[in-house]
Amino acid sequence: MNASPADQRRLVEVAELDARIRHADHARKNPPQAAKVQELLARRQTLSQELTVRLGARDDLRTELSRIESDVAVVDARSARDAERLASSSNPKEAQGLESELASLARRKSDLEDAELEVMERLEQADASVAEQEALIAETNAEGAELSAEAKRIVAEATAAHDAASRDRAAVAGTVPADLLALYEKLATRSAGAAFLRARTCEGCHMVLSGTDLNALRQAGEDAVVNCPECGCILVRTGESGL
């Protein structure tokens, strides 16, 4: 196949635009933050599971505290009732029994208050533990939101770059003869498709051509469409090819 040097050079421009399109497509489908976002989602799930455990422990302590407070209220009510009965009793034996019961109730209340203090201390620790876990989750959510926003920005930029390169590619490709473009697109499925030969090196595969291959290129006509003997892409010759 023959094609003018200008048409062949435009093929390299098409190849460069195709590379930009592929790069932009990869960037918008695989933003660098995606893996980290997935890590944060897994971490948040683990933290949330631990938070559920801590909330359950705190709820159990609140239930226990409520029960103790209810028992204290019952003791107080019984003590008030017995004290009232003692104040109005004229029976020594009954008075002695009431005094004994009041003493027992006082001991019971003291034990309950000690237990109440212990549970309140444990509840305070549980509240702090829950708050600590909630802070970790909030921090993870904030980091995830920041990364997601950055990923969306990169995807938007990559999409814009992809669309711009696609428009440019269509414009340039439209100036290339159909048969030459078809050959390029066939070769582009397994190589760069087209690349400059610069300083005896194919810029498609970055291989330095042998003397024999260079001699064959020197003998080829200016309009001849030649291929890299290494990767098969169309080699576009210029004054910098080193021939």
Q: Tell me the per-residue pLDDT of 118-135, one tens digit each, with 9 for 90 and over.
A: 999 999 999 999 999 999
- Burial degree of 190 (CB within 10 A; 0-12, 13-18, 19+): exposed
- Asked whether the beta carbons of 163 and 205 are under 8 A apart, the reply is no
For domain 30-155, give the CATH number.
1.10.287.1490
pTM of the model: 0.67
pLDDT score at 90: 79
Q: Could you tell me the pLDDT band of residue 34, with boundaries at 50, 70 and 90? A: confident
DSSP E strands, the chain: 194-198, 201-202, 226-227, 234-237
User: Rounded to 10 degrees, what is the CA torsion of 8, 10, 11, 12?
Assistant: 100
Structural domain spans, the chain: 5-26+174-237, 30-155
Report the DSSP pairing between strands 234-237 and 194-198. Answer: parallel
pLDDT score at 147: 92
**pLDDT reading at 113 higher than 90:** yes
State how far the Cα of 143 lies from the Cα of 119, in Å rounded to an integer: 36
Give first-to-last CA distance, the chain, whole Å. 21
